[in-house]
Every structure is written in C-alpha cells, then in structure tokens.
Structure 1
Amino acid sequence: MSINLPLPLLGEMAIFVKVVEVGSFSEAARQLGSSPSAVSRSISRLEKALAMRLLQRTTRKLRLSEGGEEVFKRCSEMVSAAKSVMEISGQFTHEAEGLVRISVPKAVGRFVVHPYMPEFLRRYPKVDVELLLEDRNIDLIDDNVDLAIRITDHPPAGLVGRQLLTIDHLLCATPQYLAEHGTPSHPHDLLSHSCIYLGETPSDARWKFKKGSKLVTVGVRGRYAANHTGVRLGAVLEHIGIGSLPYFTVRHALEQGLLVRVLPDWTFLASYHGGAWLLHSPTRYLPPKLRVFIDYLVECLAKEPTLNRQGKQEQKGCELPEGRG
C-alpha cells in the first residue's frame, strides 16, 4: 500500500464518520450538502482502498462491521483532531463569531438561560446561538454540542466548566388557594390537599421531606400532573393546588406575593436537584465565541444571587481552563 494513500482518502474518512453518526446515507448527504449517491461512492472508495467491508446495509438501518468499528474509531479521532486545528485557528480571530450550540434542561433553559439571550445576541452580532432544550444526558462530541448545562452533584470526569447555580425545590401555592383550603403545617397535612406533581413515574407522587433528623414520605394526590415545569407553575398560579417547583422558576412570583411557600420549615427532597453546571470538552484553545458566551452567562447569573435560595454561588468539582478564574 502506498504511503500516500491516506491523503486522498481523508475526505472519504470524514464522510464515513458522518454517515455512522447520523445513521443514513441520505441524512449525511443532506448535512454535507451532497447527494446520497455521491456519499455512497465515497464509502465504496474507502472500502475498496482498505479492502474491507465497513458497513452492513439493510433496508432499515446501517450497521458497522467488526472491522468498520475499529476504522470508525480511528476516523473519529482524525475528525476530532481536525476540529482542534480549527479551534487553534480561531484563537487568532479577536472577534467572536460563529454558532454556539448549547444543550440545556428544559426548565433551566426557559427560566434561567433564555431571558439573557436577547442581550447576548445584541452584544455579539456575529455569534449565533442554538439553544437545545432537552432533559437527557448528551455526549458533547457525538451530539455536536459546544456546551451543556447538567444538573448534578458530581460533574462527569473528562469535562471542565463552572457551576452556575444550585437547584433547590420547594412547595408553593397561591394565597387564594390556601385561604380556601387551609395552610399545611406538617407534610401529612398534604393528604387533604390537591397536589400538582411531575407524574412521569409513581415515585413522583411520593414527596419526601426532612427536618433535622426527621424524614417523612407522603403519598400525595391531585387532579393535575404535568411533566413540564412551566405548566406546573401555571397550574399553581391558577389556584389548582400545591405544586413542587424549582426555586428559580417561582422566585419572581414569591417576591411579588403571587405565591406563598408551603411548609417552609421542612426541606423538600426532590430527585431533580444539585448544581447546574456549564460544561464543555477540555481544550487549551477555547474559541472566542465560547469564551464570550461563558463569560456573559456567568456574569449575568452572578448579578442575581437570589437564583440560589441560600444566596450563594459555589465552585467545586470541575476546574476551569487556565485563564478562566
């Protein structure tokens, strides 16, 4: 095999990675601005040059062959290296520009991140933002995402970033609802109330509380459940019942007196809790578009300490890249 062989095949290798990532020739062609037949020819040329079958084609999906899995791993490393080269070149561009793709939990995206985006877009006219609101763990490389916000007490190894805020949950209701139905003084009093909860699994209706050394679990009931934070907030504001909500979604309503905290002497133990971490892949060359986005979001949230009910911001676990103190 000629030592010059890999150079003409670099393009085919990159196309092969894209086909595997998206799972089809047609979708790869769409994203690459090509045609399915051209993509197919590129894969055929790569298979011929390597003298091996890389993909097993069926009518429903593509599957990597045993040898194809190893080739895909090496080709993915090549594509990642190429992206790193582009990141390095970006360090010499003083003006931030390009697309920032950030994956954010739905509630955090809607109530915490989105309100600051209009000003960011005005401040940086050459930076575009794609806000992906999704409650799932994503892989930054596989999902082609630049930044991710995750709710966790233990940031994943291999990523670096910054804790933006602490997620606290509490119970709240409108003064009108409490005036009509009474104010609970103990978690067991919730049994006689209409409670608004997540409703995705049976455990969502089992609310847990802590006060000192006391632990109490109550199986609540209600006529309305919703797996969307904004919907539950709206239901509480409509006097439907007592709802469990992250503090950052209700803070303005509490400040305005539209809502009242229920059982304030008890800590509500929700499964959706921890720190909201802004994470990205480790790199010595952070593109300007990412640097200004991170700086901007941290700056905005630092001005609003009330996003954390304890009124404090923390840093732990992940380390920031050099120069990001």
Structure 2
Amino acid sequence: MDKLQAMKVFCRVYEAESFKIASESLDISRPMVTRYINALEESLGAKLLHRNTRNISVTHAGQQYYQRCSNILEAIEEAEGELTDLTHQPKGHIRISVPMDFGLSHMVPILSEFSKIYPEITLEIDFSDKRVDLTESGIDLAVRGGDLGGDQFIARPLCSMRGYVCASPEYLSRMGSPKHPKDLTDHNCMVYTNAPYGNRWTFKSEHEEFDVQISGSLMGNNGSALTRLSVAGAGIIMQPDFLVDKYIEKGELVTLFEDYETFSGQFYVVYAERKLLPKKVRLLIDFLFERLQLTI
C-alpha cells in the first residue's frame, strides 16, 4: 500500500464526507478509494470511518488520525514548495473557481498571463456564478463577491465593485428618460436572476434610502448578456461597473440617477484555513492582488 496516497485519500473522504466526491476529485475509482481506506484501517488496527449505504461518519480515532495526516501532508507540500523555489520552477495543479462575468472580463487575461509566466503550474478553472463548496469540490481557491459564507475559510478583499443603472441612448430616446428611481415602475427593466436583490432595486442618497420594485419583459442569469441586451435598446439594467464601464465610455450606455447609489461590494479571494498554504496557491493569490490593483 502507498501509505502517502492512502493518507491523501482518507483526508479527502474525511473532508468531503463522501467516497464518491473523493474519488471524483482525486480522479480514482470509487472501489480504489474503498481499498485505500480498508488498507489503512487494517494497518492501523482501528476503525476510521463508519459507513452505510446513505452516509459516513468519522470515528474518534478517525478524527485524531485526520489531524495528524493533514499536518503531514501540508508539511510535505510545503517542503516541495521550498525545493521548487530553489529551482525557480513552480509547478503543480491549482483548481480555482471564479464568477462567470467577472471571470471572463477581468480574470481571463490575468490567469493567461500567470500561465505564461509559470508554465509548470496547471490551472483548472471553474467559471460559475453558483456558490462552490471549496471542501467538497476540491477547489484550492475561489474568487467571490458579496456574502462569503462559512467561518472555516479565509477571505481576503481583492477589489471593489459598485452598481450602475443604465440604458442605451436609443431606449431613452424612444421611451423617455426616468427622472427619479421611482419612475422605473413605468419602464422595461431587466432582472438579473442570480442577484440577491432580484426585482427590488435599492437606492441611497444623502437624505433617503428606498427600494423600487421593477419589472420587465426580459430576465436572465447572466449579467453580461443582459448588459448587451440593454446596449441593443431592450431596456434598463442595474449591473456592476466591470460590465458596463466600457459601454459607458463608448456612449453606448448612459448612467441614470447620478445622485443615488445602488449596490456596492467587494470581491474576495477565499481559501480553506490551513497552517501551511501551498506555495503555488500563495503565488497565484499574490499575482491576483498585484494585477487586479492595476486594472480595477
């Protein structure tokens, strides 16, 4: 039995609480996962996991063994990282999850540059607006906006964003320009279905804060698509600056209600709390901070 690989398999099963997820993230068969766990328990003379057809649970011995294994595996990864530094050839595999729109507009050029500088590091990128469980999915780090969720993760502010209400000059010429946010009830507003605010847009000024319930003939789960529809004259949108800035600069979109603020927030780099963060992951995090501060 490859004891080191068996320890990796056990830690993955422990973290995911699933043989199936562990086998998928490690790219080995489920029977092989079972064999590794059985071999470990036999060599240790102790039961690490209780399992049945529905779920698994960790024994007291399993909890203690996991802490030892995770420390050992982190130490090995750190040692390999230090040797990599000496040879000036960082290498390894990193799984990263990024939001669809922000990922395509800002992360793709940065990740492409990173890949050219560090060709021995393989990046596996998940473009999705869905909240990803870092533990279950085996993601090394994620870029997230808004609510982070979970105290077991470290979240470092990466860059800020703010929202704008916009429409095309063609739409405003055809339908008239709303003078106050409450006038939006008489306009075709496009709902971004992935946003927590949905069809209730919040507006803030120095003197007041209120919500406006909007409606329209178009809605969707992709902010970039809704922005392009607005450019084409389909209606009014509320979208973040990183999606609308270039269209505003070209005059293809016009901002509304300059005296009011909509939503604002941060993007964060999120990763699991560990004593020793792998060098390759730290390298990518530092690279993201450096590049995004130059572009945002």
With the length of structure 1 as denominator, give the TM-score of the two structures: 0.75
- 1:268-306 C-alpha deviation (Å, 9 max, x unpaired): 1x3xx4222335567777626742x445444443443xx
Whether 2:7 is the aligned partner of 1:13: answer yes
SS at match of 1:239: coil
In the alignment, the residues of structure 2 paired with residue 203 and residue 302 of structure 1 have an alpha-carbon distance, to the nearest angstrom, of 28
How far apart are residue 261 of structure 1 and its match? 0.6
How far apart are residue 110 of structure 1 and its match? 1.7
In the alignment, the residues of structure 1 paired with residue 100 and residue 13 of structure 2 have an alpha-carbon distance, to the nearest angstrom, of 29
Whether 2:156 is the aligned partner of 1:165: answer no
SS at match of 2:210: strand
Whether 2:40 is the aligned partner of 1:46: answer yes
How far apart are residue 49 of structure 1 and its match? 3.7
SS at match of 1:116: helix
Contact residue 101 and residue 130 of structure 1 kept, 8 A? yes
SS at match of 2:255: strand
In the alignment, the residues of structure 1 paired with residue 178 and residue 42 of structure 2 have an alpha-carbon distance, to the nearest angstrom, of 73
Q: Among residues 143, 154, 176, which one is paired with 1:149 in the alignment?
A: 143
In the alignment, the residues of structure 2 paired with residue 32 and residue 301 of structure 1 have an alpha-carbon distance, to the nearest angstrom, of 31
1:278 alignment partner AA:
V
How far apart are residue 169 of structure 1 and its match? 0.6
How far apart are residue 135 of structure 1 and its match? 3.5
SS at match of 1:185: coil
In the alignment, the residues of structure 1 paired with residue 215 and residue 25 of structure 2 have an alpha-carbon distance, to the nearest angstrom, of 48
Contact residue 81 and residue 280 of structure 2 kept, 8 A? no
Q: Name the CA shift for 1:299/1:55 in 2 (closer, same or farther; >3 Å).
A: closer
Which range is displaced more, 10-19 or 227-236?
Answer: 10-19
Q: Name the CA shift for 1:153/1:167 in 2 (closer, same or farther; >3 Å).
A: farther
How far apart are residue 90 of structure 1 and its match? 2.7
- 1:120-174 C-alpha deviation (Å, 9 max, x unpaired): 433443333222223355565664434332325999787375x442110111011
Matching residue of 2:279 = 287
Matching residue of 1:88 = 82
Contact residue 190 and residue 216 of structure 2 kept, 8 A? yes
In the alignment, the residues of structure 2 paired with residue 301 and residue 188 of structure 1 have an alpha-carbon distance, to the nearest angstrom, of 35
In the alignment, the residues of structure 1 paired with residue 187 and residue 98 of structure 2 have an alpha-carbon distance, to the nearest angstrom, of 33
Matching residue of 1:110 = 104
Q: Name the CA shift for 1:284/1:160 in 2 (closer, same or farther; >3 Å).
A: farther
Q: Among residues 229, 248, 253, which one is paired with 2:247 in the alignment?
A: 253
Contact residue 54 and residue 68 of structure 1 kept, 8 A? yes
In the alignment, the residues of structure 1 paired with residue 200 and residue 191 of structure 2 have an alpha-carbon distance, to the nearest angstrom, of 9
How far apart are residue 207 of structure 1 and its match? 1.1
1:240 alignment partner AA:
A
Q: Among residues 236, 242, 265, which one is paired with 1:274 in the alignment?
A: 265
How far apart are residue 246 of structure 1 and its match? 0.5
Cα RMSD after superposing both structures: 3.5
Contact residue 226 and residue 237 of structure 2 kept, 8 A? yes
SS at match of 2:219: coil
SS at match of 2:173: helix
2:160 alignment partner AA:
T
Q: Specify every segment of 5 or more residues in structure 2 that has no aligned partner in the other structure, as ranges.
A: none
Matching residue of 2:216 = 222
In the alignment, the residues of structure 1 paired with residue 189 and residue 202 of structure 2 have an alpha-carbon distance, to the nearest angstrom, of 13
How far apart are residue 98 of structure 1 and its match? 3.1
With the length of structure 2 as denominator, give the TM-score of the two structures: 0.81
In the alignment, the residues of structure 1 paired with residue 12 and residue 25 of structure 2 have an alpha-carbon distance, to the nearest angstrom, of 9
Whether 2:205 is the aligned partner of 1:211: answer yes
2:266 alignment partner AA:
G
Q: How does 1:24-103 map to 2 (within 5 A)?
A: 25=19, 28=22, 36-65=30-59, 67-103=61-97
1:159 alignment partner AA:
I
- 1:13-42 C-alpha deviation (Å, 9 max, x unpaired): 333223344555566556656554444333
Q: Name the CA shift for 1:36/1:174 in 2 (closer, same or farther; >3 Å).
A: closer
2:72 alignment partner AA:
M
Q: Name the CA shift for 1:89/1:244 in 2 (closer, same or farther; >3 Å).
A: same
